[in-house]
Amino acid sequence: MVEECATTRLRPRDRIAGAARDLFHRHGIRGIGVDAIAEAAGTNKMTLYRHFGSKDDLIIQCLRDVALEAEHWWVELETDHPGDPLAQLHAWIAGCAECVFGDDRGCDLANAAVELAETDHPARRVIEEIKTKQRNRLANLCREAGIAQADLLADTLSLLLEGARVSRQSVGVEGPSAKFVRMCEAIIASFQNPKSAERRREAPAMAAN
Amino acid sequence: MVEECATTRLRPRDRIAGAARDLFHRHGIRGIGVDAIAEAAGTNKMTLYRHFGSKDDLIIQCLRDVALEAEHWWVELETDHPGDPLAQLHAWIAGCAECVFGDDRGCDLANAAVELAETDHPARRVIEEIKTKQRNRLANLCREAGIAQADLLADTLSLLLEGARVSRQSVGVEGPSAKFVRMCEAIIASFQNPKSAERRREAPAMAAN
DNA sequence: CTAGGGTGTGACCGGTCTGTATCTTCCGTG
DNA sequence: CACGGAAGATACAGACCGGTCACACCCTAG
């Protein structure tokens, strides 16, 4: 399929970006070199550097492409369940489950944040920006679905997803990730129950956390 | 503080292991070289290779040391709240929160799994083994605390913790991780409520997930 | 005092990495 | 056909990587 990526005559820039995304995802950012990317894209390093000024630029482009794909998925959710935010939320969970179980590498954004440890790496700003946007999007969906504590639910689901994808990398699908859907559904149900909401409000003295 | 690690006259092997843990943690495994580790340990590469056959061996030793430290923390929980598993569980949450908020890099085990993408890397078996052990330990604690669906609670808390630590790396402490304690406490409360347990059981048709 | 094991030192090897320079080839447009 | 810009090919620079070798050193045990 790498071959296909090279033969389907896209423009070199897109072939490079595509190959880079695939290889970064599978081998990690630091685990693959620009030369291998260029070769997988059916081109060479020189052309790569003519389109992307540096490996960092290429990394950032890939992260933005990931975000774009997620963006498309969000509109897909909406067209599949028009005017039914609750159904969209359940579809969101199902889609996330597909991500978790259908792929043994986690979220490219989170992985990049782990790999690029330098706090001033240019990709970090991009990662934060995208993740924040996605978080807000999920919170909006929860709000539209009539959840009272929408932000808290969105953040809980975010952490569960993030945790499921990283746990899947450490211990595999049989680990805690296996119950991802069940957890999410249960928590949504709990948020829809007014009694539970009350408990959530009164519970912690240190509500700041 | 690196200096201190070098001057406090531990044996070279321990100094190397300590420096490696610190540098791996801060810069990532692939982000630091054996030479830098040896220098930080106040010794040299040759001595490093006399004690650890390869960088991979050193990595594995560091991961085992991380596990050992966690092990100590578990017994600490028990001695701090003897015979009170529920208090231990709450203390576990508080301790995890310290980890999440007091350190801008995530879990060394999870990070290593991200960085070492090759599926046959020797460290992967170690990571899986340790993570599984910790998962079982948490499940046992939940069981001892009288939680009905102890395994499900333990897995949920595991994912929340894993997610909080990785999310903290991507979007910082102001992100979803900020509500980590509140989420955990609310979920425990929900698991202690029999009505909620009922809901969790009946909820998903695809209970396998 | 001596022997030997653990340690420090620096050079070195082969490989890989990002990034660049140079030159040729190709292809679409006018 | 002629031209110009995009792309391919290749070699190279400079740095860093993991890992090894040879040798000098020191400290302790006998």
| CATH code for position B28 | 1.10.10.60
Residue A107 has pLDDT above 60, yes or no: yes
- Contacts of residue B106, Cβ cutoff 8 Å, sequence gap at least 6: A114, B165, B166, B168, B169
The rounded average pLDDT for each run of 10 residues, N- to C-terminus, in chain B (209 residues) is 48 96 98 98 97 97 98 98 98 98 97 97 98 98 97 98 98 98 97 82 50
Mean pLDDT taken over chain A: 92
Contacts with A115 from chain B: Cβ below 8 Å: 28, 30-31, 114-115
Domain-located, residue A123:
yes
User: Do residues A4 and A65 share a domain?
Assistant: no
State whether A98 and A165 are in the same domain.
yes
Distance (Å) from the alpha carbon of B144 to chain A's nearest alpha carbon:
19
* CB count in 10 Å sphere of residue B101: 16
- List chain A residues with CB under 8 Å of B174: none
CB contact under 8 A, A179 and B155: yes
Handedness of CA A183, A186, A191, A197 (dihedral sign): negative
Q: How far is the CA of B104 from the C1' of C14 (A)?
A: 37
Task: Indicate if A108 and A30 belong to the same structural domain.
Answer: no
Instruction: Give me the mean pLDDT over the A61-73 stretch.
Output: 98
> Distance from CA of residue A144 to its chain's centroid?
22
Per-residue confidence (pLDDT) for residue B203, from 0 to 100: 52
Q: Do the Cβ atoms of B209 and A178 come within 8 Å? A: yes
pLDDT in tens, A148-190: 999 999 999 999 999 999 999 999 999 999 999 999 999 999 9
Enumerate the nucleotides of strand C whose atoms come under 7 Å of any protein CB: 6-11, 16-22
A119 and A77 belong to one structural domain: yes
A27 contacts A90 by C-beta, under 8 angstroms: no
Do B144 and B116 sit in the same domain of this protein? yes
Largest pairwise CA distance in chain B: 63
* Domain assignment present for A209: no
Cβ contact B181–A158 (<8 Å): no
Residues B192 and A196 sit within 8 Å (Cβ to Cβ):
no
Distance CA B138, CA B89 (A): 8
- Give the tens place of pLDDT for each residue, B32-80: 999 999 999 999 999 999 999 999 999 999 999 999 999 999 999 999 9
pLDDT of residue B197: 80
pLDDT band at A200 (very low <50, low <70, confident <90, very high): confident
* A25 and A125 fall within a common domain: no
Distance from the first to the final alpha carbon of chain A: 47
**Is residue A91 located within the same domain as residue A191?**
yes
Chain A, nearest residue to B90 by Cα? A204
- Number of domains within chain A: 2
Same domain assignment for residues B46 and B144 = no
Identify whether B15 is part of a domain. Answer: yes
Long-range contacts for B120-126 (Cβ within 8 Å, ≥24 apart)?
Answer: B121/B56, B122/B56, B122/B60, B123/B56, B123/B59, B123/B60, B123/B63, B126/B60, B126/B63, B126/B64
Smallest Cβ–Cβ distance between B170 and the set A105, A109, A167 belongs to A109
How do residues A33-46 score in pLDDT, each as one tens digit?
A: 999 999 999 999 99
* Contact state of B164 with A159 under an 8 Å Cβ cutoff: yes
For chain B, report the end-to-end CA distance as a whole number of angstroms.
Answer: 47
B62 token code pair: 């560091």
Q: Which residues of A touch B33 (CB under 8 A)?
A: none
Q: Which residues of B touch A134 (CB under 8 A)?
A: none
Q: How many CB atoms lie within 10 A of CB B207?
A: 13
Q: Are residues A73 and A2 in the same domain?
A: no
Contact, B25 vs B105, CB < 8 A?
yes
HEC sequence for chain B: CHHHHHHCCCCHHHHHHHHHHHHHHHHCCCCCCHHHHHHHCCCCHHHHHHHCCCHHHHHHHHHHHHHHHHHHHHHHHHHHCCCCHHHHHHHHHHHHHHHHHHCCCCCHHHHHHHHCCCCCCHHHHHHHHHHHHHHHHHHHHHHHCCCCCHHHHHHHHHHHHHHHHHHHHHHCCCCHHHHHHHHHHHHHHHHHCHHHHHHHHHCCCCCCC
CB atoms within 10 A of CB A1: 6
What's the confidence (pLDDT) of residue A195?
Answer: 79
Q: Tell me, yes or no, whether B49 and B69 share the same domain.
A: no
Footprint on protein of nucleic strand C, Cβ below 7 A:
A 32-36, 45-46, 49, 53-56; B 11-13, 42-47, 50-51
Q: Which residues contact A120 (CB under 8 A, 6 or more apart)?
A: none
Q: How far apart are CA B140 and CA B150, in angstroms?
A: 8
Q: Which domain, by its residues, includes B39?
A: 1-53
